[in-house]
Amino acid sequence: MTQHTDVLDDENPAYWVKSVEKTFSILLAFSPDEPRLTITRAAAKADLSRAAARRFLLTLADLGYVRMDGSYFELTPRCLDIGASFLANLSLPQIAEPHLKDLAVKLNETASLCVLDGTDVVYLARVAAPRLLSVSVNVGTRFPAWATSMGRVLLAGLPESVREDFYASLNLQQFTHHSVSSIEQLRAEVDRAGRQGFCMVSQELDDGLRGVAVPVRRGNDLIAAINVSLQTHRVSEAEIARTVVPELQEAARAIADDFGGRRAISA
């Protein structure tokens, strides 16, 4: 069995190719906040001399990975080729799962990813908390969208005409005595979810449980929703809004970024 026996030099193994490291430091210097860089700015962000940054940028331009616009450089779509094979083998649930795991650990609550399918939400990924909740939910489980926090944030992202068609097709069922009892009440809850950017549903589907959800957006597209399920006696609604919602929003951004969200925003 072959083992690496290279001697370390400046904390890197002997096989280390500095030019590869520098190439990626230049490429990664571009960001959503700074999609266009001068040579001087690229050099500063990549921790290179101006002369070195210039050589790397001009070489990348000749190869088609960046383009010049006056004194500025910017990435080209050809950069997507680098990750295309990797991304082609990933689905949204695969991308979301590690972020849901992190979320479940941080909050000690069950975290899920759903999409809207007709009048239902469908669970695509789910990571259980160490303690089990009273509702048994697996990937592929369906619930009426109108009765769930994820369903309501997804409904809030639909065009108004589509939303109204959805309301017209509903036959509301009282799962608990907390369930919304009219389309007008549901409409108000969905509108509120759209305004505030998250949704909290307490004991409407099952007594003792509260769900809170946020949308996952790729650019302007609403692609899914994520949520955590909490027992109502553990955390108050005010505390959820203050501590849980920001964690959900951070996870949603991370999922969207890994699913191409940064590219969609800067396109």
The model's pTM is 0.60
Quote the pLDDT of residue 51.
Answer: 96
**CATH number of the domain at 90-266, please?**
3.30.450.40
What are the residues facing 12 on neighbouring strands? 9
Average pLDDT over residues 247-265: 76
Q: Give the model's confidence band at 132: pLDDT under 50 very low, under 70 low, under 90 confident, else very high.
A: very low
What are the residues facing 226 on neighbouring strands? 113, 214
Quote the pLDDT of residue 5.
Answer: 39
Domain boundaries, the chain: 18-84, 90-266
Fold of 18-84: Arc Repressor Mutant, subunit A (1.10.10)
Chain mean pLDDT for the chain: 82
Decide the pairing of beta strands 199-202 and 209-218.
antiparallel
- Digit-coded pLDDT (tens) for 71-126: 999 998 888 777 766 555 557 888 888 888 888 888 888 889 998 887 888 888 88
Highest mean pLDDT among 36-40, 123-127, 187-191: 36-40
Q: Give the model's confidence band at 178: pLDDT under 50 very low, under 70 low, under 90 confident, else very high.
A: confident
Quote the pLDDT of residue 136.
Answer: 57
Q: Is the pLDDT of residue 244 over 80?
A: yes
User: Following DSSP, what letter does each residue of 114-167 receive, concatenated?
Assistant: EEEETTEEEEEEEE--SSPPSS---TT-EEEGGGSHHHHHHHHTS-HHHHHHHH
Q: Is the pLDDT of residue 134 over 60?
A: no
Q: Is the pLDDT of residue 141 over 80?
A: no
Check residues 73 and 202 and name the one with the higher pLDDT: 73
Percent with pLDDT over 70 in the chain: 85
Average pLDDT over residues 206-232: 83
| Closest by Cα among 256, 253, 230 to 243 | 230
Residue for token digits 């009219």?
A: 182
Q: Is the pLDDT of residue 10 over 80?
A: no
What are the residues facing 76 on neighbouring strands? none
Quote the pLDDT of residue 87.
Answer: 55
